[in-house]
Structure 1
């Protein structure tokens, strides 16, 4: 009877010992849990992000890149507008220069072509093409000049040899003119050529270009 009890106790101890050895279920569960947590952290981390970088850097750097791109786009648009405006302004100046130069050439011929037999028409054409300082000066001296030309039976014919634009804005253009003027009068009946060079300042008045100043140089 005593042997039976001892055998039973030994069997029980053997069974408990085998159970502890063969059942590592608790450590395995803990290891699985740790592995699962690690995988979850890896899934939560942004792809390509530096896990050691501060949260604000990982979050705001992409926004900063977007902001910088938008700034560059806006700056490019502003620059395009400025360049477009400058080109438009340059085009307007070029157009004004061409128009003023063409008018100056025609007016220079009017100014240097005088026939004493048609003196009033000649002077009216000169005054109608002038403005400002030049118009005032020419008008004041016109009566004396008419008398002198009629007295000497003067005739002159102007011809443009060359011209160039000295300076230009949208409303004011200076034109350099080279002129040959064929002159005859009662003192010198044989034609002679007078060569002159003048700078004519043209100003926009309404839709017209008028001479405001004429300087012989």
Structure 2
């Protein structure tokens, strides 16, 4: 037996492959890599949009809760605690609504005191009409029990309120209040 005899074990040396086969392999590897990268990018984008949607939904719920609490403050008044009530109203307001309420509060203050007015508001239902991370419009149905010197027996006023809430200084405040 000759020692120069080589045994063919069926293995193909990469250097022995035809150039077109090597080229095809590189293309397939490149395409697979592109598919993986595109899949990761797609998953990242979808994850980001889900996170954004959840952030907006969470902001809407927080603003709705703040609007409910604020509507109760806004629709409740005690002639014996007018200044305290006004401070609470102004503390939950911002922008256009805060300016408007500040300007009209002096006339309203005296009217409430003179008539010994009291009111207690209760939010029956609320819903988010539109929402973003920093601005939410909330619809509220409020029953308000009102008494004063000319009407000592309580009267129930049913109101619909459209309240625009803005995220300001880490909290939700009313910037617009409408009675449609």
- Tell whether the structures are fold-level matches, with TM greater than 0.5: yes
Residue by residue over 1:120-150, the C-alpha shift from the partner in whole angstroms, topping out at 9 and shown as x without a partner, is: 1111110011000000000000001111111
Partner of residue 92, structure 1: 55
Instruction: Identify the residue that residue 113 of structure 1 maps to in structure 2.
Output: 76
The alignment's TM-score, normalised by the length of structure 2, stands at 0.87
By percentage of residues, which structure has more helix? Answer: 1
Q: Select which of 166, 189, 194 maps to 2:157.
A: 194
Is residue 2:143 matched to residue 1:180?
yes
Matching of residues 161-180 of structure 1 within 5 Å: 161-180=124-143
Unaligned runs of 5+ in 1: 1-42, 50-54
Structure 1: 4+ residue segments shifted above 4 A: none
Give how far 1:57 is off.
Answer: 3.9
**Secondary structure, in 3 states, of the residue corresponding to 1:196?**
strand
TM-score (norm 1): 0.73
- Once residues 56 and 143 of structure 1 are traced to their aligned partners in structure 2, the CA distance between those partners, rounded to angstroms, is 91
Structure ranking higher in strand proportion: 2
Could you tell me which residue of structure 2 aligns to residue 38 of structure 1? none
- Taking only aligned residues, the RMSD between alpha carbons, in angstroms, comes to 2.0
- 1:77-119 deviation digits (Å, cap 9, x = unpaired): 1011111111111121122111111111011000000111111
Aligned to 2:89: 126
- List aligned pairs for 1:4-153, cutoff 5 A: 57-153=20-116
Moved more, 174-183 or 83-92: 83-92
Q: Which runs of 5+ in 2 are unaligned?
A: 1-10
Query: In the aligned structure 1, how far is the partner of 2:169 from the partner of 2:58?
Result: 15
Compare CA radii of gyration and give the structure with the larger one. 1
Distance in 1, matches of 2:169 and 2:113, equals: 35
Aligned position for 1:210: 173
For the residues of structure 2 that align with 1:98 and 1:111, how far apart are their CA atoms? 20
Partner of 2:5: none
In 2: Cα distance, 1:92 partner to 1:59 partner: 49
SS in 1 for 2:152: coil
Query: Post-superposition shift, 1:58?
Result: 3.1
Give the total of aligned pairs. Answer: 169
